[in-house]
Structure 1
């Protein structure tokens, strides 16, 4: 009976009620996000994403746990997504050993990365774009492509491996060119 009442209450949640939930959990969520991002502004942005996601998905809440557990689950998911995206950025930055570069150099490198991705076979290129550029998770990519999550994971791994080899080759060619021209 209590679950039944809770469902009705959540489905009839007013804006004021939602604001009370936000007020109650806002600081805790920002702190949790900060523990992943180490950047207060990023943590605030992530916390906003958490509450937007909560608002959109509240009707899907199954009451198998408390609302706080549900909020923290969403928060951890958003933090993990953030972590993956920042790892991708670091991956590409580390490959090129980027220092402070001009905007023009940055644009050239981004174009080179996209061109390298475009050279990949379609079965690797699609999950890379969906994951790193569109921001879909592996489950969503699996659904879009009609393959298993493990298959998506494997394709992303192999694509990153191929890109790393390509980038290393380009870096070696660059070093050879400028070492012999001195």
Structure 2
């Protein structure tokens, strides 16, 4: 990769990585930090990617791993948003309806939230998600099915009509 590859990756996939981190973490500011770390790592340690999809998968996997590390850190328990209302208005280019659903997805266990985000918001197939997460396709399919069920239950509690 040349020196411009991190910049190219950022221009092409920066918003995708940011949305992914935001969907998992739920904090726009932390998602920005995680996104920055992912691209700084790519800049500092250039990777050889087979193609565009390989690059995108690597970036998303890096973001997922950083989100997991963030959630494990004591930083998350020590910090709380200064203004929760402001935090919720930052939608990271989600529509209002997407933002409401994203908030419900965010409350799901991470394993479900990640799979749902990749499937519905990034439009990856189950096979592609399995490759990104290094999981079996059947496992991803089960996580997606269980996540949908949990999401449906949460949406119904809020009065949403869910048609199957």
What TM-score comes out, normalization by structure 2 length? Answer: 0.41
Instruction: Give the structure with the higher percent helix.
Output: 1
- Higher CA-based Rg: 1
What TM-score comes out, normalization by structure 1 length? Answer: 0.37
